[in-house]
Every structure is written in structure tokens, then in C-alpha cells.
Structure 1
Amino acid sequence: MSSTESNKKLQADAQDVLEGKSKKGFFARLLPFMGPAFIASVAYVDPGNFATNIESGAQFGYTLLWVILASNLMAMLIQTLSAKLGIVTGKNLAEHCRLRYPRWFVMALWILMELVAMATDLAEFLGAAVGFNLLLGVPLGVAALLTAITTFLILALERYGFRSLEAVITGFVSVIAISYIIELWIGKPDWSQVWFHTVIPQFKGSKSILLAVGILGATVMPHAIYLHSALMQDRIVVRDTKLLKRLFHYEIVDVVVAMGIASMVNGAMLIMSAATFHSRGLLNVGTLEQAYITLEPLLGKASSWVFALSLLFSGLSSASVGTMAGQVIMQGFMDFEIPLWLRRIITMVPSIVIIMVGVDPTKALVISQVMLSFGLPFAIIPLMNFTGDATIMGELVNAKPTRLLGALVTAIIIILNIYLLYSMIFTGA
């Protein structure tokens, strides 16, 4: 089926459901609306999450599990509002910024978001390369080439319609989730401690706060916020307010399911690290390579292979999604578009340089995730402004509780970033 035919069928199926004409079962009616949040959720299980979650679990055990839960609840709110902006207005977040902010501010935002996209791509590309390196035993340079080729192949699926790409990305997320179910089964964590630290907020010194900010930066991703609004703007087009509300409700289900899976995967990463490394006194397992090598003697060869496979699929899927997000950012802010393959080549360069000069991939991953957290307010604040404006959103404008909750989330992120900046400048943390 061609891209055009696939998109028309999706539109027709969705329209039937929204108008109450579909006679299919509940889950069959859900299918036309599922997918966009799964693409966005890849950003929440990218290799940067592996790095921060493994280091957090090894050093502090289960202590920071609550940060993962809190971060993913924030993500559900933010991604839902991003989707709503695209559904209601037919424009994505970057386009709204270009149309409504002064030119100088748009330029500054664009440059900042491009830097964020580069930091994101660094994490994703490095993660996939390390996955190939661990699984196949090839040098990192060769692994980087394999990553580039595979990413191009995944992006090429877009010519067959976005449903094909959504299916592949969802399959990758499923592999990552299944991998960590296996890791948890092998690792046998202390579930009483898991439940306790999931709901009870705690820190253990300034380093744990730094890692908490890293978890936040690796979880709530600026480029995913911009991307999700773009994924929804032309996917299912309806203009009737009643149908828009129904479409939005279906998209909430998509977000909750996708982000819920991402939350469980992130939690499983940290739990695996805590149960396997921290419980045995191995507090300094801070790199992906160390985790892979250490898992085998502790839990058997299967566990290390499963870890490497999940890392590879995470890197490949998130690298593809990151390239799409970069394209949305460029097109939205500058009204300028370049071919995806050219964008992929340009964004690969920093990652290849990092690999060639011998920089520790995991340290680069952690730093990139911390840097990403600085870009979050510049995605969240415009999103809250636009979705809280009745002249833009009409009847689907954010309700007062949503506006208050959004303001609280934004404040938390800004406060954590200020603390991180202070720690890096004055304490060298």
C-alpha cells in the first residue's frame, strides 16, 4: 500500500470511530489513534536513559526511583498538551513560535533547539554504536558506520506512510520493554525497596541531586515536545469541536499507554542496576561497557546480551526519531526544510568525531542528558502559553488546574537547573 493510500485509510477509519459509525470492538477502534505517542516515547527510553539510570542505580540503589516516576508523570502532561496543540491548531509548536514571537527571539530559540537536537543525537548515535560494538565485537568506528546505515534504512520507511514507521518504532520499543522484563526476572530485585523508593522522595547528597537532574533531562526531552505536536497536526484532520474533543481523548490514551511503558522501562533500568551492582557493593559501574561486562559473571551471558540488544534497539529507534525532530525544528522555526538524509549526515558528524577522538561514550551520554535539561523551559513555557490561550485553542484551551500544574512542573525544572548550574560552577559536582 502506498503512503497516500495508507494515510487515506487511516483518516477514514478514524473518522468512522469519531462519528460513532464504527462497529469494531474497543481495541480495534483504538488502533487508528495509537502510534504518535510511541514515536515520541522513544526519546524517553534512549541511550541517555541507560547511562543515567545505570549510574544512579549502581551508586544509590533504589533511592532515585521516585524521580523516574515523577519525570514520567510530567512527561505525560507535557506530551498530552503538545499533541493537543497539533490536533486543535493544525500547526506544531515550532511554527507557533515563529508566527507569534519576535524575530530575534525565534532565532535564539531555533539556535538553542538545534543545540538540543545535536546533544540528543549525540546520545542516540553513541548508544546505538556501543550496542553494535558490544553485540558484534566490532570497533566503535565500524559500529558507527553500521548505525548510520541502519538509521537511513529506518527513515526510508516514511515513504510508505507514517503507519509503517510507527509500527517499526513501536516494535523497537516492545523489544526494549521485553528485554528489561527478562533482566528483572534474572536480577531478582528487592521489591519491597522498589515500592518504597518509588513513592517516597529521598536524596543522598549533592551527587544524587545531580543524577536526578540527569534523569529528568534524559526523560522529559525538549525535541520530543516539538515533535509530538508535528506528528498530530496533519495525521487525523477534523475541525468540528465535538470531534476534536473525541480525538484528543483518544490521544490521551495513546500518551498514557506509551509513556506508561516508557516509565516502566526506565524504572526497570535503574532497578536492574540497583539489584545487580549496588546490592553487591559495585558502586562505580558507571559506563555502558562496564555494565555489559559485569552483568555476565553476575547473572550469566544471556543477561549481558539482552542488555546490549536493548541498547542497540534504543539507539537505532531514537536516532531515527531524533532526526525527524530536528527536521521539525528547522522547518518550524525557519520555514526551511532539507532532505532527511542530509539532516542525518549533518547530525552524525559530532558523534563520529566523539568516537574517533576516543571520548568515553558513557560520560558523553550523561553530560548530553544534563545539557538537555537546560533546554526544557524553552519548550515547556511556549507550550503552556499557547495551549493556555483561548484565541488559539478555542474550547480546548487548558483549564485552570492544568495551567497551575503546568506552572508547577515548569518551576520544578527551572529550580533544578539553577541548582545544577550552581553545583557545576561553585562545587565542581
Structure 2
Amino acid sequence: MIAPFDSAVPCDITEKSHGRGARRIAVFKQLGPGLVTGAADDDPSGIATYAQAGAHFGYNMLWTMLLTYPLMSAIQLVSARIGRVTGCGLASNMVAIWPKPLVLGLVFLLFAANTINIGANLAAMGASAELATGMPAPPATVFFAGFSLTLQMLLPYERYARYLKWLTLVLLSYVAVLFVVRVDWAAAAKGLVLPSFPLTGDSFTVIVAILGTTISPYLFFWQSSQEVEEIDRKDSTEPLKWAPAQAPEALSRIRLDTFGGMAVSNIVAIAIMISTAATLHAAGKTEIGTAADVAEALRPLAGEFAFVIFSLGIIGTGLLSIPVLAGSAAYAFGESQGWKCGLDNKPWEAVGFYSVITAATLIGLGIEFASIDPIKALFWSAVINGFVAVPTMGAMMVVVSRRDRMKQFTASPAMLFLGWGATALMTSAAVAMLVL
């Protein structure tokens, strides 16, 4: 009797273990547009912003992440819901309710901001490659631009989206840095809930920068259009306004995907702030220029391991964010013009769409080789994003409230409250940019 009992134990444990593993895989498979969107938010430009906050103010800007998480989750949920319910991207829905010239003006501003960000991200990636491998920055920058553009042009959407999803794991490198630096966890906890910082122009500028890099217009356009791609890719899937029976599963998946993706984004931002507060701020190094500067400054303070994973993380997040930046501009342009759009199409099947992707990437690459101060360029990019975000978010909230667009899937009161709250917050940030 003993043998059968003993032999059954490991079998039972194995089955339970496989069950848990299968559930984890099933959950990961449900993550897609929201996860990639959240991860792309931590691009090299965002890394530089979060690092500057940690270096300059120590742990005292951590509270901003508690503020942004529910607001950015709500506005991204609105974006995804619009795409999944209507079967049209954000720009298409905006054209339906606003004058086309106004929408085109916003799209041009989005393209300008995204192009500047692409240039800054490519520059950070090239500089990081030079620091980590010794390869000169200019050819590395050209390689990364060409590599990213080639993948977008040649890979089928399903495979490309899968690669982007797995690439989000590179963000774990920033969490890993926390295990090799000495953190004052009591001070970090206080910074989350009871921060102490001077009410000066510098502090408000950093707060505005954090809001601008965390709640960014290109993320709205990308996630909405990716939901449309998901519909187009599967014959059995239709817009929810025409197939309401699909709503429970689809909306549940969107909630899991978006809340998970935004949590990843904020956890990584917190990790970057904590690691730079514990090293750079503690050592009195309070001014940071680019993400590559952060990696270089970490080497003598946190050791070679922290330097390497921070540098490689910059390259990984750059490869993740550049397609999102270029792609969101292409979706916005194409949808507003009624072009054929989508990464499932071949370049010769959607010429306008892929032309915008190519132009955004190559102009961004050109910025790297032009005599333009990257920090000033990023500042103006943040200003542009701040002004694009306000009318875009307002239009999103109007669309998600209208039954003629959303049928029975208009936003809930809680989503409306948080979505309009995020819009009000970004309005305040845009005003602050002008005043500060």
C-alpha cells in the first residue's frame, strides 16, 4: 500500500505544477497591446526622465507613480475600448466627431513629437552600445534604425507582435538593479506616501515631465489601433458593437492586459527612480542628461553588473519603443486620411502607412546627426505631447460616452471619472509648461 501512495504524490505535485504553469502561460497569452503599450512607455527618453527625478529629488518623486497608475490605466482602457468596440482606430473616430483639419493638425504635431522621441531614443541606444561594447555610437545608431525598420517592413504582424511582447521582459533588468544597490527602503516608502520637496520651478518641471512621459498621446493611438489589428487578424472576431456576445471575454481580456501593462510600466519607473536615488542622488550627482549618462554614472557607484544591465536595458526598450512611436504616427495619419493601414499588410499593400513609418524613423535618425541639442529637443517634444494629449483625451472621452459610436458599450461612471480626471491632470500639466 505504501508504494502506490508514494508514487502518487510526485505525480499529483507534477500535475498541480503543470496546472499552475499552464495558467501562467494562459494569462501571458492574454497580454498583448496593453503590455506592449505599457512597456513602450519606459523608452530611453522616459528612462532619462525617471532617472533625473531620482537623481535630483531622491525618493521624493515616487508618489507620482501612485497618482499616474489609475489615471493612465483608465485612459488606456478608454483607448482600447474604442478600438475593440468600433473596429476603428482613434484617429478614425476623431474624424467622425471633429473637423478633419483640426484632427490633421493634431496628427502632424503627434508626428513631430514622435520623430523627436525616435531620434532621442536612437541616440541613447547608440551611446549605450558604445559604452557596453566599445562599438562607435554612429554606426550602432544607424544599425538600430535599420534593424527596427526592417522588422516592421518584413515580419508578419502576428510574429512581430509576439516578439514585441517577449521583448518587454527586458524591463526586468531595471528591477534587477535594485538587488545590487543599497536602498533606504524606509525613505523610499515615505517618498511614495509622504514626500518632501520644495515647491519650486524645478520640482514642478520634473513633475510635468513625468506626467508627459507617462501619459503620452502616441500610446493612445497605438493601443486603439492594435485592438483593431486583433479584430482584423481573426475571422471569428468582430467589433463589439456588431457582435455584443463577444464582449464579456474581450473586455475582460482588455482589462487584464491594460492593468497589467500599466503596472509593468509604473513598477519599472519606480525601480529606476529608486536605483538612481540610492546611487546618484546619494553621491551628490543630481544632474543627468540622457539615459546613457545614467548608465555611465552608475558604473563607479553601483558596479559593473548594474552598469551592464542598465545599458542593455536601454537598447532593449529602444527596440521596443521605436516601432510603437513610428507605428502610432502611421496609424494616426492613415486613419485620418482613410488609407489602408496595418502591420498585417505588406509595404506595397499599404504604401502611405509604411511611408509614414519610414519617414518617422529616418527623420529621427537624421536628428541624431544634426546639430540639435537632444535635451532641448526632448523638452519641446514633451511640450508638444502635452498639447496634443489634452484635445486627444477630450475627444476620446467624448467618443466613449456616445451611444451612436459605442452602442451599449459606453464607459462606466468610474471610467468616465478617472478618464476625465486624467484629462484635467494633463490640462494642468500643459498650463504648467507655459507658466514654468
* Shorter-chain TM-score range: 0.7 to 0.9
Residue 383 (structure 1) aligns with: 396
Q: Does 1:41 align with 2:44?
A: no
Residue by residue over 1:339-396, the C-alpha shift from the partner in whole angstroms, topping out at 9 and shown as x without a partner, is 6654343123443333223545455445433442222112211111101112211221
Aligned partners of 1:54 and 1:286 also within 8 Å: no
Distance 1:366 1:128, change over 3 A: farther
Task: Tell me the amino acid that sits aligned with residue 160 of structure 2.
Answer: L
Residue 210 (structure 2) aligns with: 215
Task: Decide which structure has the larger Cα Rg and report it.
Answer: 2
Aligned partners of 2:39 and 2:264 also within 8 Å: no
Q: Does 1:354 align with 2:367?
A: yes
Separation in 1, partners of 2:325, 2:380: 17
Distance 1:201 1:395, change over 3 A: farther
Q: Does 1:332 align with 2:326?
A: no
Aligned partners of 2:54 and 2:281 also within 8 Å: yes
Normalised by the length of structure 1, the TM-score is 0.86
Q: Does 1:196 align with 2:187?
A: no
Q: Does 1:314 align with 2:317?
A: yes
* Backbone CA RMSD of aligned residues: 2.3
Distance 1:149 1:190, change over 3 A: same
Separation in 2, partners of 1:105, 1:370: 18
Distance 1:267 1:192, change over 3 A: same
Q: Does 1:170 align with 2:169?
A: no
**Secondary structure in 1 aligned to 2:59?**
coil
Which among 81, 87, 112 is matched to residue 115 of structure 1? Answer: 112
**Secondary structure in 1 aligned to 2:351?**
coil
Deviation at 1:29, TM superposition (A): 4.7
**Secondary structure in 2 aligned to 1:186?**
coil
Q: Higher mean Cα deviation, 281-290 or 185-194?
A: 281-290
Distance 1:349 1:166, change over 3 A: closer
Task: Tell me the amino acid that sits aligned with residue 408 of structure 1.
Answer: G
Aligned partners of 1:72 and 1:219 also within 8 Å: no
Which among 152, 156, 172 is matched to residue 155 of structure 1? Answer: 152
Aligned partners of 2:129 and 2:135 also within 8 Å: yes
Separation in 1, partners of 2:30, 2:260: 12
**Secondary structure in 2 aligned to 1:115?**
helix
Distance 1:106 1:282, change over 3 A: closer
Aligned partners of 2:65 and 2:270 also within 8 Å: yes
Separation in 1, partners of 2:383, 2:245: 41
Deviation at 1:315, TM superposition (A): 0.9
Q: Does 1:183 align with 2:177?
A: yes
**Secondary structure in 2 aligned to 1:355?**
helix
Query: What percent identity do the matched residue pairs reach?
Result: 23
Separation in 2, partners of 1:314, 1:32: 21
Residue by residue over 1:224-278, the C-alpha shift from the partner in whole angstroms, topping out at 9 and shown as x without a partner, is 1011111112414244324213311111001111111111111111111100011
Separation in 1, partners of 2:425, 2:432: 11
Separation in 2, partners of 1:355, 1:25: 45
Which among 297, 300, 323 is matched to residue 297 of structure 1? Answer: 300
Separation in 1, partners of 2:381, 2:160: 26
Distance 1:98 1:189, change over 3 A: same
Q: Higher mean Cα deviation, 396-405 or 308-317?
A: 396-405
Deviation at 1:100, TM superposition (A): 2.5
Task: Tell me the amino acid that sits aligned with residue 82 of structure 2.
Answer: L
Residue by residue over 1:92-111, the C-alpha shift from the partner in whole angstroms, topping out at 9 and shown as x without a partner, is 11011122222322332222
Normalised by the length of structure 2, the TM-score is 0.84
**Secondary structure in 2 aligned to 1:376?**
helix
Aligned partners of 1:203 and 1:209 also within 8 Å: no
